[in-house]
Amino acid sequence: MKLKPIVAAIATTVLASTSFAAEVEVLHWWTSGGEAKSVAELKKMMEAKGHKWKDFAVAGGGGDAAMTALKARVVAGNAPVAAQIKGPSIQEWAQQGVLADVSGAAGEWDKLLPKVVGDAMKYKGKYVAAPVNVHRVNWLWINQDALNKAGGKAPANFDEFFALADKFKAAGMVAIAHGGQPWQDATVFESVVLGVGGAKFFNDSLVKLDPKAIDSPTMLKSFDTLAKIKTYIDKDSAGRDWNLATAMVMNGKGGMQFMGDWAKGEFTSANKVAGKDYACVATPGTANAYTFNIDSFAMFKVKDAAVQKGQLDLATAIMSPEFQEVFNLNKGSIPVRSGMSDAKFDACAKKSIVDFNATAKSGGLVPSFAHGMAVPSATQGAIVDVIAKFMNSNMSSKDAVVALAKAAKTK
């Protein structure tokens, strides 16, 4: 993020009004379905505190358009009060000196958040962002009827996974429903790395980018495993959207899918029930590990005292039990705040909550590389390109490891 030459010239945003405490402009890309409902709840909470909500919604699920709009606003010296930013991007913005310290709203956050999550929201020990939710990425979704016919046992490791895939294939199904898009390829890859090498290896190789971990027999085995997975994906997968792959599992055309828990929304919308119509299990070999993808709002520096108070109120509202519950019930994710009741959540979410808390204590909780939580965007992009090339060519595992090591050095 090359903003340093203009940062010194950035004017802070001043938003004030005589008819309300403060106008709080919030940039986000939650514009559809349950996400929009959740934003409406946050707006309602802010208005109850006397603030005026100014919606700065930029459509596009991945947030690329929103980030382009944000950069333009910051460069123009007119940053919004808060913006949906996540992962290392929070640190990149903070390094530019444009994020506000909202530690005044944090209170007990250090006790309510796992350390790895809290650290991602801080810069130099101060909170500059508020976390909204937790998506678990390392989920395997399985057609329950097909699983029952194959013996009913979900695969705990890759040997069992491939044995089940063979049964699905023999039954005339596409064993692994997949969308051939780079981010989906990366989603499968990171679960394979986690399952083959474990949480420590995942952290060393895909978070710390340790050259020794990348250029290792374990990474070679990870690519070998990914190569075998490719043989169970149908020839029509290129360009397929993830939700269409989920639909394949839902209607029995596909047996299994590697995908984060947003896939559950597709099953729920179709009135499908976990344990009856589909199974949600940790990807092979990852029962004691958890790759997280967390949405969050970073706060930008403002001069007006009323708006500063508005930022603190917004951060407090985001982390409130009320918002954490309603947002995550709509989104399919789970609350990032610990100690909340799971009574209203479904079976998959209940399992996710248990595993999130357990891995936070065991060290098995790791940031998702594929979903922008682990490394800077330029590095992530270079690595994803390697994975996509491997998935769409005859590149050998050995060559892939060499290419991965080179990509990891991208700044």
What is the structure's pLDDT at 267?
92
Identify residue 34 by its one-letter amino acid code.
G
What is the structure's pLDDT at 251?
97
What is the structure's pLDDT at 65?
87
If you average pLDDT over every residue of the chain, what do you get? 93
* Selected residue with higher pLDDT from 274 and 36: 274
Mean pLDDT of 17-32: 79
Mean pLDDT of 175-196: 97
Q: Binning pLDDT at 50, 70 and 90, where does residue 332 land?
A: confident
What is the structure's pLDDT at 141?
98
The DSSP bridge pattern shows strands 126-127 and 129-131 to be: unpaired
Judge whether residue 20 has pLDDT over 80.
Answer: no
What is the structure's pLDDT at 63?
79
What is the structure's pLDDT at 51?
96
Mean pLDDT of 123-137: 96
CA dihedral 278, 280, 283, 289 (to 10 degrees): 180
Judge whether residue 364 has pLDDT over 90.
Answer: yes
DSSP letters for 289-343: -EEEE--EEEEB-B--HHHHHHHHHHHHHHTSHHHHHHHHHHHS-B-SSTT---T
Judge whether residue 13 has pLDDT over 50.
Answer: no
Q: Could you tell me the two tokens for 10?
A: 């950035």
Separation between Cα atoms, residue 329 and residue 341, nearest integer Å: 12
| 3-class SS of residue 130 | strand
What is the structure's pLDDT at 62?
67
- Reported as a single tens digit per residue, the pLDDT across 228-266 is 999 999 999 999 999 999 999 999 999 999 999 999 989
User: CB 200: neighbour CB atoms within 10 A?
Assistant: 13
Name every residue whose Cβ is closer than 8 Å to that of residue 131 and which is 6 or more positions away in sequence: 113, 117, 120, 121, 294, 295, 296, 318, 319, 336
What is the structure's pLDDT at 334?
96
What is the structure's pLDDT at 10?
45
CA-to-CA dists, residue 401 to 37, 57, 205, 210, angstroms = 44, 40, 11, 13
- Reported as a single tens digit per residue, the pLDDT across 44-60 is 999 999 999 999 999 86
Q: Could you tell me the two tokens for 284?
A: 């092979």
Mean pLDDT of 10-19: 41
**Out of 58-67, 75-84, 90-99, 161-170, which region has the weakest mean confidence (pLDDT)?**
58-67
Mean pLDDT of 72-99: 95
- Reported as a single tens digit per residue, the pLDDT across 372-398 is 999 998 999 999 999 999 999 999 999
**Partners of residue 238 on adjacent β-strands:** 180
Percent with pLDDT over 70 in the chain: 94
Mean pLDDT of 90-94: 95
Residue that is written with structure tokens 């399952």 in the block = 195
- Structural domains of the chain sorted by starting position, each given as residue range(s) with its CATH number in brackets: 4-135+293-360 (3.40.190.10), 136-291+363-407 (3.40.190.10)
Mean pLDDT of 65-80: 93
Q: Could you tell me the two tokens for 21?
A: 């405490």
Report the candidate in 352, 347, 153, 178 with the shortest Cα–Cα distance to residue 268.
347
**Cα 222 from chain centre:** 22
Judge whether residue 19 has pLDDT over 80.
Answer: no
What is the structure's pLDDT at 12?
41
